[in-house]
């Protein structure tokens, strides 16, 4: 785990989960801010949920007034076909994004938006430059059968929220 900082005055913090080679595989951020953006002429991502696991998140209480409908928290692996391959995201999530040029991997606890995922935003802007780009949809789906994937699911499933 690597401390990525945060903003103590706002009560936020961030850490990364790294592999033995030092490559960051997951990021956790509390009190996520600054979301939004325009799609312009970017292609729409058709989002396919390849794998999903329900999780119990001790201390988690859903936001009482979310911007979109929420589902019970789960670890979810989403894949979208893009030009030249596929882009994927693995996250702890309590929502179901709609097809668009981008989506966010978020949790909506009452303390404010949080993220525990491979990346905050998955988008169709230069997808081949993403660390989660695969040469094909089939290869992205096959990743869900790897030992690394299983380990990341276990790590994501281990999150706990502290209660005041």
Q: What is the 3-state secondary structure (H, E, C) of 1-12?
A: CEEEECCCCCCC
- Whether 83 has a pLDDT exceeding 60, the answer reads yes
Question: Looking at residue 55, what is its pLDDT?
Answer: 96
Give residue 85's region: left, alpha or beta (phi > 0; psi -120 to 50). left
Write down the residue that tokens 């994501």 correspond to.
156
| pLDDT over 90 percentage in the chain | 58
Phi and psi (nearest 5°) for 33? -135, 175
2 band by pLDDT with thresholds 50, 70 and 90: very low
Residue 39 tokens read as 């799609």
Answer yes or no: are the C-beta atoms of 26 and 116 closer than 8 Å.
yes
Calculate Rg over the CA atoms of the chain: 15
Residue 45: DSSP 8-state: B
The model's pTM: 0.88
As to burial, measured by CB atoms within 10 angstroms (0-12 exposed, 13-18 middle, 19+ buried), residue 8 is exposed
Shortest CA distance to 92 belongs to which of 82, 78, 106?
Answer: 106
């Amino acid at each position: 785990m690597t401390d990525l900082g945060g903003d103590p005055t706002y009560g936020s913090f961030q850490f990364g989960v790294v592999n033995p080679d030092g490559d960051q595989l997951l990021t956790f951020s509390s009190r996520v801010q600054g979301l939004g953006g325009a799609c312009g002429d970017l292609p729409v991502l058709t989002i396919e949920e390849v794998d999903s696991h329900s999780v119990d998140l001790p201390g988690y209480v859903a936001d009482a007034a979310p911007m979109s409908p929420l589902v019970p928290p789960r670890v979810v692996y989403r894949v979208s076909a893009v030009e030249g391959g596929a882009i994927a995201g693995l996250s702890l999530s309590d929502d179901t994004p709609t097809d668009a040029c981008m989506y966010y991997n978020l949790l909506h606890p009452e303390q404010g938006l949080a993220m525990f995922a491979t990346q905050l935003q998955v988008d169709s802007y230069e997808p081949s430059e993403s660390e989660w780009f695969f040469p094909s949809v089939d290869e992205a789906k096959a990743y869900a059968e790897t030992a690394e994937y299983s380990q990341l699911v276990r790590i994501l499933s281990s999150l706990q929220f502290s209660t005041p």
